[in-house]
């Protein structure tokens, strides 16, 4: 069974530009989560999509946005990039069988975003 | 967002040593706690999910316990092996159902 995939592996942008990160969940998973891991910090929750809808959002500015497509893949868009957006961005997917926080998340390898 | 503390931040042990780490979280409004193992250059891998006070889970040489009343979970590794070297993350979740990840405990097992 194929795992969660993310592209690109690395992305280099300059301040003010926009970045688009992509994630394909495990087949059959309807939920996709996005996390940011900045240097020295833990995984910070960004966004949760399920069945095409944004279900929850972390404490990030509106220039962090995304969407989920009908095939459950997802995009994370970061507008007006700032230096502090440099981080590892992880995507995870899960079933939404119980609708509770016991759903195990399966993580992708991440996209390393560098903002110069 | 929960306040999650993991200790120690890092740990060096010799092969064969047994070790344990702690995850502390607010005891109120608790729903579940996940433990993940994150090896360098790989993706975080789920180890356990626990929900009930007194829960104990085991997977090979790794086990975990949960105390929701006092707000902590312990992860134990018996007879550490070099392949156990990784960062171990705990992620409790509250009413929002979104897990809050701790900064992790980095374990290095020396042969």
Per-residue pLDDT at B100: 87
What would the two tokens of residue A16 be? 């003010």
Q: Tell me, what DSSP letter sits at residue B7?
A: E
Give mean pLDDT, residues B74-86. 97
What residues have CB less than 8 Å from B10, skipping those under 6 apart? B105, B106, B107, B108
Phi, psi of A33 (to 5 degrees): -120, 145
Phi, psi of A86 (to 5 degrees): -60, 120
State whether residue A35 sits within 8 Å of chain B by CB.
Answer: yes
What would the two tokens of residue A93 be? 């997917």
Interior/surface letters B24-38, b for 16+ CB within 10 angstroms, e for the rest: bbeeeebbbbbbbbb
Q: Do B101 and A43 touch (CB under 8 A)?
A: yes
Task: Name the more confident of A49 and B2.
Answer: A49
Tell me: the pLDDT tens digits for B32-79? 899 999 999 899 999 999 999 999 999 999 999 999 999 999 999 999
Q: Is the peptide bond before B67 cis (omega within 30 degrees of 0)?
A: no
Give mean pLDDT, residues B24-38. 90
Q: Which of A42, A44, A109 sits opposite B43 (nearest CB)?
A: A109
Per-residue pLDDT at A116: 96
**pLDDT at residue B96 tops 80:** no
Q: Do A108 and B43 touch (CB under 8 A)?
A: yes
Residues of A in contact with B1 (CB under 8 A): 45, 58-59
Per-residue pLDDT of chain A (116 residues; tens, 9 = 90+): 689 999 999 999 999 999 999 999 999 999 999 999 998 888 999 999 988 999 889 999 999 999 999 999 999 999 999 999 999 999 999 987 555 567 789 999 999 999 99
Per-residue pLDDT at B1: 59
Q: Do A102 and B32 touch (CB under 8 A)?
A: yes
Per-residue pLDDT at B55: 92
Give mean pLDDT, residues B70-92. 96
Interior/surface letters A33-50, b for 16+ CB within 10 angstroms, e for the rest: bbbbbeeeebbbbbbbbb
Q: Distance (Å, rounded) from C-alpha A62 to C-alpha B4?
A: 25
**Contact yes or no for B45/B36 (Cβ under 8 A):** yes
Give mean pLDDT, residues B15-19. 96
State whether residue A100 sits within 8 Å of chain B by CB.
Answer: yes
B 62-101 near A (Cβ less than 8 A): 89, 91, 93-94, 96-101
What residues have CB less than 8 Å from A40, skipping those under 6 apart? none
| Residue A113 CA: distances (Å) to CA of A19, A40, A78, B6, B100 | 8, 15, 10, 26, 22
Percent of chain B with pLDDT over 90: 79
Q: Which of B31, B46, B104 sits opposite A101 (nearest CB)?
A: B31
H helices within chain B, ranges in order?
none
Give mean pLDDT, residues B17-43. 92
Total residues belonging to chain B: 111
B 5-64 near A (Cβ less than 8 A): 31-32, 34, 36, 42-46, 49, 51
Per-residue pLDDT at A39: 87
Q: Do B1 and A45 touch (CB under 8 A)?
A: yes
């Amino acid at each position: 069974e194929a795992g969660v995939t993310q592209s690109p592996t690395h992305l280099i942008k300059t301040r003010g530009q926009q970045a688009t990160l992509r994630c394909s969940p495990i087949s059959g998973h309807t939920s996709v989560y996005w996390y940011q891991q900045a240097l020295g910090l833990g995984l910070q929750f960004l966004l949760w999509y399920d069945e095409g809808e944004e279900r929850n959002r972390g404490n990030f500015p509106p220039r962090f946005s995304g969407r989920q497509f009908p095939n459950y893949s997802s995009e994370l868009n970061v507008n007006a990039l700032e230096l502090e957006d440099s981080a590892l961005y992880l995507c995870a997917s899960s079933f939404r069988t119980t609708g509770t926080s016991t759903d195990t998340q399966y993580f992708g390898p991440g996209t390393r975003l560098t903002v110069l | 967002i929960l306040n999650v503390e993991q200790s120690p931040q890092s740990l060096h042990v010799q092969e064969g040593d047994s070790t344990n780490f702690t995850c502390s979280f607010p005891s109120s409004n608790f729903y579940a706690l996940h433990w993940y193992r994150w090896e360098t250059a790989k993706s975080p891998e789920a180890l356990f999910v626990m929900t009930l006070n007194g829960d104990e889970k085991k997977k090979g040489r790794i086990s975990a316990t949960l105390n929701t009343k006092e707000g902590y979970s312990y992860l134990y590794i018996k007879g550490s092996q070099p392949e156990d070297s990784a960062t171990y993350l705990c992620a409790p979740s509250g009413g929002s159902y979104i897990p809050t990840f701790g900064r992790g405990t980095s374990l290095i097992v020396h042969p």
